[in-house]
A and B are shown apart, each in its own frame.
Chain A
């Protein structure tokens, strides 16, 4: 899988869409490189390195066309450009220097007479240049004589032949300062040397060009000619006599002999004239390939086609199914496509392209276009030409949303309005939609609309002059039929006028004329004249401008449509959610995917830039025109509609408080990612450059999320579609039915679907409950009214009525009661085992340990066991449980040292020491011990004594506790803030996430928060997690405080107040810590390191907050390692975003506060460590 994707990626790089036409962000300011590539139809690997004004002289021996100047041959003044692998000359006076204005760079007028988009000149691959000599005899300072491999490379020619062959040699006189000339020559020298290795490729590629065969001396023509398409086997369409194919061939042979063939061809005015009158059949494919630039794509990677086919052979895809449907119906009237041979070729080309460019895949109309191409060219040629078409010539035409097609229809309509106002008015008045008629013209490049012979004539010009030709021809069609069209008042009449026109294209345009010459002019010739003369004002830049103008409207139209359709088609489950919710889900779903793609792209770009920086400086400067392909936007055809696990986490973090990580970017996170890699291949490695989570909060990682993902991922494809997400959410949120919610939760943990959840599962369930509640409960359980609504609960214990008793704390109690009850009511799997269980505990422990997967979450188990253990010792009273928990959470500092030494410590204390120990091995040992103790105390916990609960048991246990009942009834479903998201939800509904002022008040919120943090940690990663949370939260407080201190004056007061809280606490803890054990030194060191990272990180994510704007600063930021610097930059970036940030900062700060105050019991040590650091940082 990995191999494929990397292969495809590589291939895509080779055929990367060109910016200027790709309607991306860079439209408005296309990079010089893309303009350069466009003008010379070069692959996207080429950049304008050097350019110089020059005069091209073609010696008289070569110049047989037109009026010749016997003495000096032909001369053209223009610009000479050098890229990595090409030397290009054009009479179009364009410049691609960084200093050049955009308009001089984007000259791409495509004058019909003589010019063409590339003007006169040449585009030589450097490997086709045989020799460059400097001439001294010329008037100019600098003159180069360039000779090519034209005609020589093919048959290692004998001396005699060589003499017969005129060597192609042109002279270039450079005009410029001596220095500039020298520099250019140096660059050329380097380029030539670098490209020597490509001569072999060149030979292979040109060997497939028909011109090589055509120009071979007759005595050598015994070899089979290269493949010039199906036409060689099945005849070319049209009557060769009528097409005067022979005469055309003669002219072309002459032109090619004089001006070079395929890669070494020099464009002179005759070249364009010859194209205008129609290409001869056997050369058509090659000239198409040459003028479209797809020849250079093929030259760059000659085996890509065969490789792609081989790589994906035997695989299936949706595109292939679609292709199969259409194979028998692509130009079915052409005999070649009634044969297996023709259909086979068509199948292979379409399939290979669908693999290469999976975003496009296959679109109907491509079959017709490719079928047409295959009549004139080989499979590989057609494959590359199709790439050039989809990426450059008609970008977005065949994408999944066909935005290019729709956009060009808009462009066409505005051109009609502009050039034929009367007709346009008539269309509007009669309510005729022009695109109904014209869309197929563009989509199938007229192949499907005109008789084939004429459509190919249009294509001849289209490939050399670009997409404007489609518009010119379209306008000419309307102009010629204008009068009749003005009579037509509905779509039907309109269509029939044009249809009958197309069928008469071969008839005389002036049948009644006296003048026989005029009478001989066919309607098609008339069409061409009108198109290219009358509408010569329609240039490439006209089209580009209009595309730009209409782009947004078209895209948002498509997006609205796509959204509407998608929401409507989400299946029966979607009816459980409201339309608003579905809309919001849709936005969130694609929003996350889009964001991630953008980020991914930027990160990749950054890496590429770094990789490049080792190369030549010029190359870097040239490539700097940022290649920001706009991808993922729905209107452009989302490149993915699948959500992987990481994206899923991010998606949830945008809606659910509990899905946000407590401790972003701790080293532990990376460890987690590493571990998960085997499960979810798509895990990105965390990039230190940019936050992989962008501006949003870092999502949490928890086993619950994985289970939820797997549950929603109904077909186990490791990716969610929108439909799956909606179905998943609908089951949680849609029914508002507590039994449903309980069942759902149970199913999440019933791995094998046998209706039983074992011991492990029970503990995981309780972890998940704590995980979900660690930021407080929502819905009816908001702190204000929960004490009222739950007053019934208070009868169970004295705490219920106490105003200071927070819900989350009591929830903790409920969860521990839950575990206890689960074990109590669980059914034993094998009752007989119970007897010898106790004796075997120690022995079996080891093996159990091995059996269990060592995921990070596993660390939480001791915690859970301990809870169960404690519970068991006590009686069933709820308040007692809570007491126990609290007790566990609030050990004093001193017993710890004792605990460490003691062989048989009380479980709770033992746990603490477990968590403190940094080494994992150590942890395991201790854990084992603690587990053993737990088990000794409670038979139910004995792993050799399997047990399980069933759904009814689970239901009963849940319903036995009011708080849990409420959790499943309301707070769990409402914790998904689909519509409003978290931005608003956080400040209002947070029960434990108090505001700064709340924190200032004192102990109560702190205790509250402590419970929550303790719970979260217990749920997340065991007590080890608590420690980490506390430490990192402390750091974040520090970082935040620091940042805020540096912010505007008005904030200062508040900040000082806020900072005071945590700071003081840190100090206290620091003191407390003084008496604690010595082994903490290690931790402290670790923490220091961690702090640096954390603060760096916060700077980064801050930067990401203003991603696009702050992005330029990134390189700079990177180079400065100091966290201060990062913080400052981060603060700067965030300054613009105050409103949003204010709340965020608030949350962060409080979290930190919680962490620290919560820390007292179980991890005062860690907290102390952090406290110290904070102090230092604060002062500094």
Chain B
């Protein structure tokens, strides 16, 4: 909010999160927006909407984040949410090979169906469950039932190679520890081409949006804890 007086140009970017159920999409957003983590996050029904600002040296980007439901049958709703999106976070679970397959499907769909020039980031989440998890929080706590400490099933190489082939940004994160989360969003903000940025959609929008800023807006209802001050990068 303090930035609102800053002269830097500000623009909003619509970002959509896609990925298999329970890979941690909502948790990534919660970490990014509220710097918070909930062990048992209710599954997203339909989609949740949140906003968060990201300060770059030259400009401010306001992310309008659409966090979608992951279950397969909700897939047909996805076009409703990725419509006009300028960026997408395709999330998979490092400990679940099927989730990468699903992620590839999403990438393919976005490349064909979403607006051209969409910036896609491939994100492997739950790094805290792996050995190299830069865990500041209690990692490997529930590592898929086994206490081996490393539940990683998808190597960094494999995913990275794929991301390079498809021209995606690539990150491994932990929403639980917060590792690499803001980096993802910063990288996306940087990758959005200047030309595709419009300044806020009109006076009405900024006025209405002012109320919603920094607040977790979620269709899951008012039982969520009150929004905390987000981390602006």
Chain A residues within CB distance 8 Å of chain B: 322, 325-326, 328-333, 363-365, 367-368, 399-402, 406, 430, 433, 435-437, 439-440, 443-444, 448-452, 487-493, 495-496, 499, 502-503, 558, 561-562, 564-565, 568-569, 637
Contact = CB atoms under 8 A, between A and B. Distances in A.
Interface string B80-103: 110100000000000000000000
A931 to B, nearest CB: 52
B37 interface: no
A367 B81 contact: no
A448 B83 CA distance: 25
23 contacts: A365-B45, A368-B45, A400-B72, A402-B74, A436-B80, A439-B46, A440-B220, A443-B45, A443-B46, A448-B219, A449-B221, A450-B221, A489-B201, A490-B64, A491-B64, A492-B208, A495-B49, A495-B212, A496-B215, A499-B219, A502-B221, A558-B76, A561-B76
B205 A490 contact: yes
Contact of A502 (B41, B64, B209, B222): B222
Nearest to A571: B101
Contact of A435 (B80, B113, B220): B80
B214 to A, nearest CB: 11
Given A402-B77, A490-B208, A568 B112 contact: yes
Contacts of A330: 42
Given A492-B64, A496-B212, A565-B109, A364 B219 contact: no
Interface centre among B21, B44, B112, B219 (most CB of A within 10 A): B219
Given A436-B47, A495-B217, 13 more contacts: A322-B21, A329-B42, A331-B42, A364-B71, A402-B73, A406-B77, A489-B208, A490-B208, A492-B49, A495-B219, A561-B76, A568-B108, A569-B108
A401 B21 contact: no
B159 to A, nearest CB: 17
A448 B79 contact: no
A492 B217 contact: yes
Contacts of A322: 21, 71
A401 B46 contact: no
Contacts of A439: 45-46, 77
A176 to B, nearest CB: 51
Contacts of B208: 487-490, 492-493, 496
Contacts of A450: 221
Contacts of B39: 328
A440 B46 contact: yes
A397 to B, nearest CB: 11
Interface in B96-153: 105, 108-109, 112-113
A489 B43 contact: no
A364 B81 CA distance: 18
B46 A436 contact: yes
Could you say which interface size class chain B belongs to?
Answer: 35 or more
A435 B219 CA distance: 12
A569 B49 CA distance: 28
B60 interface: no
A1172 B113 CA distance: 65
B7 interface: no
A433 B46 CA distance: 13
A395 B217 CA distance: 29
In this complex, the member of A364, A367, A437, A558 whose beta carbon has the largest number of chain B beta carbons within 10 angstroms is A364
B219 A449 contact: yes
A360 to B, nearest CB: 10
A365 B45 CA distance: 6
A569 B204 CA distance: 41
B30 interface: no
A324 to B, nearest CB: 10
A735 B80 CA distance: 38
A406 B218 CA distance: 20
A328 B46 CA distance: 19
Contacts of A333: 223
Contacts of A499: 217-219, 222
Contact of A490 (B69, B112, B209): B209
B169 interface: no
A364 B201 contact: no
A433 B80 contact: yes
B204 A487 contact: yes
A329 B69 CA distance: 14
B40 A451 contact: no
Interface in B35-61: 39-47, 49, 51
Contacts of A443: 45-46
Contacts of B79: 561
Contacts of A503: 222
Contacts of B80: 433, 435-436
A272 B22 CA distance: 42
B75 interface: yes
B217 A496 contact: yes
Contact of B51 (A401, A433, A492): A492
A448 B76 CA distance: 21
Contacts of A495: 49, 212, 217, 219
Contacts of A488: 204, 208
A188 B13 CA distance: 69
B36 to A, nearest CB: 14
Contacts of A401: 73, 76
Interface in B181-229: 201-202, 204-205, 207-209, 211-212, 215, 217-223
Contacts of B70: 364
B84 to A, nearest CB: 8
B63 to A, nearest CB: 10
B75 A368 contact: no
A106 B212 CA distance: 46
Interface centre among B44, B51, B77 (most CB of A within 10 A): B77
B212 to A, nearest CB: 4
Contacts of B22: 325-326
B104 to A, nearest CB: 9
A364 B204 contact: no
B76 to A, nearest CB: 5
Which 5 interchain pairs have the tightest Cβ spacing? A493-B208, A503-B222, A496-B212, A489-B204, A440-B46
A133 to B, nearest CB: 54
Given A439-B77, A499-B218, A569-B108, A493 B205 contact: yes
Contacts of B108: 568-569
B221 A451 contact: yes
Name the residue in B72, B105, B218, B223 with the highest tally of chain A Cβ atoms < 10 Å from its Cβ. B223
B71 A448 contact: no
Contacts of B43: 325-326, 329, 364-365, 367
A329 B76 CA distance: 23
Nearest to B26: A329
Contacts of A492: 49, 51, 64, 208-209, 212, 217
Contacts of B74: 364, 402
B176 to A, nearest CB: 15
A368 B42 contact: yes
Nearest to B73: A400
Contacts of A437: 219
A321 B104 CA distance: 21
Which of B43, B72, B83 has the most chain A CB within a 10 Å cutoff?
B43
Given A443-B46, A488-B208, A568-B105, A448 B221 contact: yes
Contacts of A448: 42, 45, 219-221
A575 to B, nearest CB: 12
A400 B77 CA distance: 12
A503 B227 CA distance: 13
A368 B220 CA distance: 11
Contacts of A490: 64, 201, 205, 208-209
Nearest to A442: B46
Nearest to A449: B221
A439 B46 CA distance: 6
Nearest to A405: B77
A361 to B, nearest CB: 9
A496 B47 CA distance: 14
Nearest to A362: B71
